[in-house]
Structure 1
Amino acid sequence: MVLALGACSKFVDLSPISEATTDNAYRTASDAEAALVGAYDAFQTEYYIWDNVNFNDVISDNYYAGGDNPELFAVDLLNITPVNSRLFNNWSQIYDGIARVNIILDKVPQINDPKLDANNRKEQILGEAAFLRAYHYYQLVKMWGGVPLVLAPATSADPAETNKPRSSQAEVYAQIITDLEFAASRLPDIYEGDASISKARATKGAANALLAKVYAQKPDRDYNKVLEYCNAVISSPAGYQLLGNYSFLFDGNHYNNDESILEVQFTGGAEANWGPQLLLPPSKSGDSWRKFVTPSQDLVKAFDSEQDTIRKNASILFEEVTWTDEYWAIGGGSVPFAYKWKSANGWASTNRQYLLRLADIILLKAEALNELGRTGEAATELNAIRGRVNLPATTAATQEAMQLAIEKERRLELAQEAQRWDDLRRYGRAETVMNNLQETDLRTGQPVNYNMTKEKELLPIPQLERDRNKQLDQNPGYN
């Protein structure tokens, strides 16, 4: 993908630097900018294009795996084993992203170029890199718990240096917070130039938004901090605000909008999003094979129970197909498709997935207010989201009822945006929700048993990584 990474258009012409083999690779401002392009390019890997959806929406009650991949069926049915190759692919891709920013954080401070001193650009680059490292580690710690903290470039291939033991969850979250505080103190609210620049690059708003999510998600959550950082985003000089029309968020014509905090700038061609081709129905994709990430019966019922037609129609498209779907139609029939991406364009879509957007933060603020005993104020925030899609004000009046109302609102607002599994685990409801699902395999007429346990809230450490690094112990519940 092409990301607008400079104060002027010439930066997009830089070739990315993703690895350094000698100190000579980092001598000028252009070298630093090119390295940053390479760091942002981590968002074009398979994890960030669609496996984040598989391990947050498909693994939950929102979607079925669809398609024909046994390893994704295992994700859907919560039968994930350490040898599932998607685990190692995602682990490796995220750590590659970390390696890229570690080089920037190590090398850029040593560059003496007046161009980096102009407008404090060197500090901004370091802030962007620190944000990216925090974002990557946030993905790792949510999925696997404690992971190795690699905070400097490798200077040797010796396993004694490269193979590190797992740090604790608390240590990983502490490092994420350190990086985000470092980033927030160096990043601008907006960048000069086209709006796409401020939506493509880390800003103070993005750092504050991620801090809010981190303080909510970590085991010893701090809702006062969540509220503080949500308010910082909502009152940001960047002027974030909800779009009046929910469907504009996903129609492909309104990206880099006021609600967007951070999004990947897919441009098509060689710098495109290939994910939509895997999800969209024949009328949109131009092909007839069975697609992945199929909306669940339970998700459709959730939309219908709220009479939430606006978000349902923006998120799900029903279409007649000829294949068998074990949850919707045997031998063909009407099947729903994940529809927040709208255009496949022959594996070269410009459709995007938001990395951070304001509605998520407003709902997180409602959650924080409710957890702090300010349920009436929480209702105000929740109703702002509901009102945008013409739904009546919430009737939740107690703290417990409000928590469930916010959880459901997040489900409907953020479906297919890689948030649901995080929410269920944060609320301590993953076991209850998954084990109470009433799903039937139409091929056999038998109910689906997810056998959800507390241990399954974390993924197994990839076996290939454990074979390489003997210091890695396995998560409980896995062999």
Structure 2
Amino acid sequence: MKNSRYILSLSLLLLISSCESFLDVQPRSSISDEQTIVDRSSAETAIRGVYAALRGHYSTSFQSIGYLSGDNIQWTGSQSQVQEFINHRVNAENSTVSGVWNSIFVTLNRANHVLDKVPSITDPLLTESLKNQIVGEAYFIRALCYFDLARTWGGAPILTRPTLSPNDNRGVARSTQAEAYEQSLRDLDAAELLLPETTNRFRATRKTVWALKARYFLYRSNWAKAEEFASKIIADAANYRLNKPYNSFFANDARGTQESVFELYYSINETNGHRGQWQPQQNGGTRQWAPNDALVALLNNPEIGGTRSTLVARDNQNRWYGNLYYRSPATDPTFVIRIAELYLIRSEARAQLAKLPEALADLNAVRDRAGLAASPASTQNEVLLAIENERRVEFALEPHRWFDLVRTGRAGAVLSISDPNRYLMPVPAEQILIDPILQQNPSY
């Protein structure tokens, strides 16, 4: 069925031992959840299925909303529905919006299966600590899903039980945006209590929860909490740091560096669609996403981009292309949270709290890593604008820019959007046809 909330199965995935190979999985078959999640082996299989769905969620479509709706990226293809994001005139029939909504609810449903079944499993091989880890990871991923739903659509149906029949979860109205964010926080709180305080860049731990909480509280304008949780990660200097040079976290096939807090693992069994979108034809890609002239100028300005100019390169037709995703085969990780984001979260929170010297120290740590001099900003407004501009360049090819401008109330001025209702995406038209209780966002 089109409505992904009615997905009834989990993928059986290959069982492998190491952390990376835990996530390097290949679909085998699909059978009923009631048959699969009954012991340690099937519980581990199920949580692999949740990560697999999350990789689908973060592969291209969701991130393209963040890329194309901002002011860094141009679309070089011909599909009018993609241009809708750049024009900020997205229609409810847009297939990208529909695909993202569906993929998020697939991930949510898989997480809900784990949360429903794993706590009650009795298997001597499923120790309490392992059970807590699996359940905690499912809570974290569900929290990330509701966070993304809240910032992309506003309200969303709050579904905390798995879909077991076609009629399950019908008639569930959309929450408010605040309620969707609150569900995300509840899940983060639950995950924090269950997960170990270890360092793992590919699977959720308590530290991953802290990092997402820092982002969450920044979006919710809780500056003290954003500072507190960002500081928890930054203080762990033995495990997280700003690596020099800038491109050391992604160049030369790097993955899982100290720069990374949480990244998604892809392999030859499950490749990352980003590479094909960014790379030019000479490298086997389509270059349908490309840095626009304004971004190229910023990155190549030695006083703004610094060493971040390595994010772009020229093809054999002298056209600029993005080079964050470049591997062949396309096993590039997707960088969900980097330590640079935690520095800039804390910098912004401190600036909002009028702690300007401390805010500048965090901002300048990121600038120093890029080979730049300290920021000349001095007033609160100047520091906040400097942070906004730094985030634009630091995460030039990561999907932060659109969401940053929306959450700070700057999208109208920067992107010339006259209708603030357009800061949220439309609920897919097909979803409203399937379940009329889902109300459309204003202006769509």
TM-score by length of 1: 0.85
CA shift digits 1:64-91 (9 cap, x unpaired)? 1222222111112112110111111110
2:311 to 302, 315, 322: 315
Q: CA RMSD in A?
A: 2.4
Partner of 2:258: 258
Are the aligned partners of 2:208 and 2:261 in contact in 1 as well (CA < 8 Å)? Answer: yes
Partner of 2:61: 51
Q: Which amino acid aligns with 2:309?
A: N
Q: How far, CA to CA, are the matches of 1:413 and 1:127 in structure 2?
A: 31
2:194 counterpart of 1:186 = yes
Q: Which amino acid aligns with 2:37?
A: Y
**Gaps in structure 2 of 5+ consecutive residues:** 1-10
Matches within 5 A, 1:93-172: 93-117=103-127, 120-158=129-167, 161-172=169-180
Partner of 1:464: 430
Q: How far, CA to CA, are the matches of 1:181 and 1:227 in structure 2?
A: 17
Q: How far, CA to CA, are the matches of 1:4 and 1:230 in structure 2?
A: 34
The SS at the match of 1:373 is coil
Matches within 5 A, 1:4-83: 21=32, 23-45=34-56, 47-83=57-93
Partner of 1:296: 292
The SS at the match of 2:378 is coil
2:386 counterpart of 1:405 = yes
CA shift digits 1:208-244 (9 cap, x unpaired)? 11111111113xx211110111011112487211112
Q: How far, CA to CA, are the matches of 2:266 and 2:21 in structure 1?
A: 18
Q: 1:30 to 1:238 in 2, by over 3 A?
A: farther
Q: 1:143 to 1:33 in 2, by over 3 A?
A: same
1:174 to 182, 185, 188: 182
The SS at the match of 2:127 is helix
Cα drift, residue 456 of structure 1: 0.9
Are the aligned partners of 2:40 and 2:126 in contact in 1 as well (CA < 8 Å)? Answer: yes
Deviates more, 1:176-185 or 1:235-244: 235-244
Cα drift, residue 336 of structure 1: 1.4
Matches within 5 A, 1:361-440: 361-435=342-416
Partner of 2:331: 350
Q: 1:87 to 1:94 in 2, by over 3 A?
A: same
Q: Which amino acid aligns with 2:202?
A: A
CA shift digits 1:138-195 (9 cap, x unpaired)? 1111110001001011243226x4231001111111111111111112212326xxxx
Q: How far, CA to CA, are the matches of 1:212 and 1:110 in structure 2?
A: 32
Q: How far, CA to CA, are the matches of 1:165 and 1:12 in structure 2?
A: 34
Are the aligned partners of 1:36 and 1:104 in contact in 2 as well (CA < 8 Å)? Answer: yes
Partner of 1:341: 325
Cα drift, residue 109 of structure 1: 0.8
Count of matched residue positions in the alignment of Structure 1 and Structure 2: 433
Are the aligned partners of 1:273 and 1:350 in contact in 2 as well (CA < 8 Å)? Answer: yes
Are the aligned partners of 2:307 and 2:371 in contact in 1 as well (CA < 8 Å)? Answer: no
Partner of 1:230: 230
Q: Which amino acid aligns with 1:149?
A: I
Partner of 2:443: 477
Partner of 2:216: 214
Q: 1:306 to 1:156 in 2, by over 3 A?
A: same
CA shift digits 1:322-341 (9 cap, x unpaired)? xxxxxxxxxxxx32112111
The share of aligned pairs that are identical, in percent, is 30
Are the aligned partners of 2:14 and 2:25 in contact in 1 as well (CA < 8 Å)? Answer: no
